Amino acid sequence: MLIRPYTAADRQACITAFKSNMPKFFMPHELTDFEEWLNDVEEGKIQAPDEQYYVIEQDHEVIGCGGFSVYPDKQRATMTWGLVHNSMHKKGLGKALILHRIAAIRKAFPAVTIGLDTTQHSFSFFEKLGFVTTKITNDSYGEGMHRYDMELSPA
Architecture of domain 2-112: 3-Layer(aba) Sandwich (3.40)
- The pLDDT tens digits along the chain (155 residues) read 999 999 999 999 999 999 999 999 999 999 999 999 999 999 988 887 899 999 999 999 999 999 999 998 889 999 999 999 999 999 999 999 999 999 999 999 999 999 999 999 999 999 999 999 999 999 999 899 999 999 999 97
Q: Looking at residue 47, what is its pLDDT?
A: 81
Q: Are 82 and 125 in contact (CB under 8 A)?
A: no
Report DSSP state, residue 87. G
Q: Looking at residue 49, what is its pLDDT?
A: 80
Global confidence as pTM: 0.94
Distance CA 72, CA 53 (A): 17
Distance CA 153, CA 131 (A): 8
Per domain, the residue ranges of the chain are: 2-112
